[in-house]
Each structure stands twice: as structure tokens, then as C-alpha cells.
């Protein structure tokens, strides 16, 4: 490795991948520890650690405490879904974006929301409902609960002109989350707001995010049945 490469975790990753691809480290192989790899590559142990962590996140390596790091027997490429800004999604479809705030209330969470976020009945929550438009037609109905202590500044956010989705993506970090996809029949309110026949199929995305052990938000996004979602592996 050149001097410029020594402090690059990407270069360490590339060398590890080369050894795997060349079958120097075939599937199931226990690879050297971080200290030995740092000496081999002439870099800091922290650099090696980051390289190994990211390769483990992709499913190429398997890391177990006290058991070391192995090349995965059956590597599984993990799908990663970024949280999109709805405005950007609409504009990427060559449509004109529009937004309408329907409801903004600081209220106690419902029982179902408390269960999802593992919060007490007295939790400080902001309930926000909004409608996103594409070319002046309903695109997404957003029904969101925000844990106020985890989203500093949300009470002063200009949600009358900026969606909670966009504000949170820009202002509030998260460490992990859960996404659930499903189908549902449009109830009277959803049918009216989405301009869809009552009882027609809707595409539903429910997402919960946390920062460490603290829940940040739970959102239910409803789309008409002709909506499609594309992601990358």
C-alpha cells in the first residue's frame, strides 16, 4: 500500500475483498484479528475496525465477540432503504410538488402508538397529519407521531409550509429503524383525501425510527394502489 492508502479504510476493504475473491480467504475462513491486520496493512487499528464493520454490515463478513471475524459462508447482501424526502420523490417523477398541513396537535399518544414506541401514556407527543401532492393530485397521506424530547425544535418548526418528513430528515438524527409494508382498504377519510374510491386498495408504509434507545417518530404513509416503490440492493 502507498502512503496515501495507509489511512484509508476503503483501501483496507479493497485488500480484504481481493483476498476473499482470490480465495486466499475462502468462505468460512477465520481472518486475522484487527491488531495483526493493522500491522500487515501499516495502518491504525481503528481504520481496520471501520473496514471490517462495514463489510460485516453488507453481509460479507461475520463478526462475533470473542470468536473473531470470518468470511461468511453464504454472504447475504443487505438492502438499505434511506428515508426519502417526499418532495424530492415527487420532483424525481417530473411532477410539481405541493403540500398541505391537515392537523398539528400536541396530544397524548394512542395505545397503539405507545405500544410501537414503548412509551408511557403521559409521553410528550406531537401528532401531525399532512397531504403531499404531485401535480395538484394527492400523492401521499402522512400520519405521524413525533416524540417531542427526541426532536428538539419540532414545536417551533414551520410545519405549515415544510413537511415534518423534510424537517426531521434534515434536523434529527436516527440510529436505526423498522419499516413495514402492507396493503389496506381505503376508509372514508383516506378515500376523500387521496381521491380514491372507498374500499379501494391502498399501499401502506409504516416506519418507526429510534436514536439509541429513544424513539423518535412513527409514521403511517398511505398511497393509492397505483403507487410503486423502487430501491437498490
pLDDT at res. 8: 80
The answer as to CATH 1.10.645.10 being correct for domain 3-71 is no
The domain limits of the chain are 3-71, 86-224
Can you name the residues that pair with 68 across neighbouring β-strands? 64
* CA gap 206, 140 in Å, rounded: 12
pLDDT at residue number 96: 98
For the stretch 65-112, pLDDT in tens is 888 999 988 766 555 567 889 999 999 999 999 999 999 999 999 999
pLDDT score of 4: 42
Residues 144, 117: Cα–Cα separation, whole Å: 12
Closest by CA position to 162, among listed 132, 199, 192:
132
Quick one: which of 22, 26, 34 has its CA closest to 12? 34
- In tens digits, the chain (233 residues) has pLDDT values of 443 445 688 889 889 988 987 889 988 899 999 999 999 988 999 999 999 998 888 788 999 888 899 998 876 655 556 788 999 999 999 999 999 999 999 999 999 999 999 999 999 999 999 999 999 999 999 999 999 999 989 999 999 999 999 999 988 888 788 999 999 999 999 999 999 999 999 999 999 998 878 899 999 999 999 898 876 65
Overall fold of domain 86-224: Chorismate lyase (3.40.1410)
Amino acid at each position: 500500500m502507498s502512503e496515501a492508502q495507509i489511512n484509508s479504510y476503503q483501501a483496507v476493504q479493497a485488500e480484504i475483498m481481493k483476498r476473499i475473491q482470490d480465495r486466499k480467504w475462502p468462505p468460512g475462513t477465520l481472518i486475522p484479528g484487527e491488531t495483526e491486520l493493522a500491522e500487515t496493512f501499516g495502518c491504525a487499528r481503528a481504520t481496520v475496525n471501520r473496514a471490517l464493520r462495514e463489510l460485516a454490515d453488507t453481509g460479507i463478513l461475520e463478526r462475533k465477540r470473542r470468536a473473531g471475524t470470518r468470511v461468511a459462508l453464504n454472504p447475504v447482501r443487505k438492502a438499505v432503504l434511506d428515508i426519502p424526502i417526499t418532495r424530492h420523490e415527487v420532483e424525481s417523477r417530473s411532477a410539481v410538488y405541493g403540500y398541505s398541513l391537515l392537523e398539528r396537535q400536541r396530544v397524548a399518544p394512542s395505545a397503539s402508538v405507545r405500544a410501537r414506541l414503548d412509551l408511557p401514556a403521559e409521553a410528550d407527543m406531537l401528532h401531525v397529519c399532512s397531504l403531499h401532492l404531485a401535480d395538484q393530485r394527492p400523492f401521499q397521506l402522512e400520519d405521524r407521531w413525533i416524540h417531542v424530547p427526541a426532536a428538539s425544535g419540532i414545536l417551533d418548526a414551520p410545519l405549515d409550509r415544510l413537511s415534518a418528513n423534510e424537517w426531521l430528515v434534515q434536523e434529527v438524527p436516527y440510529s436505526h429503524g423498522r419499516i413495514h409494508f402492507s396493503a389496506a382498504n381505503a376508509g372514508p377519510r383516506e378515500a376523500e383525501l387521496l381521491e380514491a374510491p372507498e374500499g379501494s386498495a391502498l399501499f401502506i408504509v409504516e416506519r418507526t425510527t429510534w436514536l439509541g434507545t429513544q424513539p423518535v417518530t412513527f409514521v403511517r404513509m398511505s398511497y393509492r394502489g397505483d403507487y410503486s416503490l423502487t430501491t437498490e440492493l
